[in-house]
């Protein structure tokens, strides 16, 4: 599997967090190209994880070194 530069796995996402909130939070670090929260195909319910893609891979490298809390989840 080939890694996409600037793409990060985001785990432990609150059920209340939506893609816009995820994008808004990570946008403070740099330009976000895409924010996706994975959902169950049958129920449409969030699965508690997703992905962020930054325009600049160096931003992703900095972000991964820090601890983050979004909507009460770390």
Query: Residue 34 phi/psi, 5° resolution?
Result: -150, 145
Domain residue spans of the chain: 7-63
What is the per-residue pLDDT for 74?
A: 80
Residues of the chain short of pLDDT 50, as ranges, are none
What is the per-residue pLDDT for 2?
A: 62
What is the per-residue pLDDT for 57?
A: 96
CATH topology for 7-63 is Alpha-Beta Plaits (3.30.70)
What is the per-residue pLDDT for 3?
A: 74
Q: What pLDDT digit, counting tens, does each position of 31-46 carry?
A: 999 999 999 999 999 9
Return d(Cα 39, Cα 50) in angstroms, integer.
Answer: 9
- Check: pTM over 0.85? Answer yes or no: yes
Query: Residue 25 phi/psi, 5° resolution?
Result: -65, -50
């Amino acid at each position: 599997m080939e890694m996409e530069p600037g793409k990060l796995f985001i785990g432990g996402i609150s059920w209340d967090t939506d893609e816009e909130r995820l994008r808004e939070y990570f946008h403070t670090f740099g330009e976000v190209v895409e924010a996706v929260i994975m959902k169950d195909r049958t129920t449409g319910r969030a699965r508690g994880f997703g992905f962020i893609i930054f325009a600049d891979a160096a931003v992703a490298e900095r972000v991964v070194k820090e601890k983050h809390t979004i909507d009460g989840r770390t």
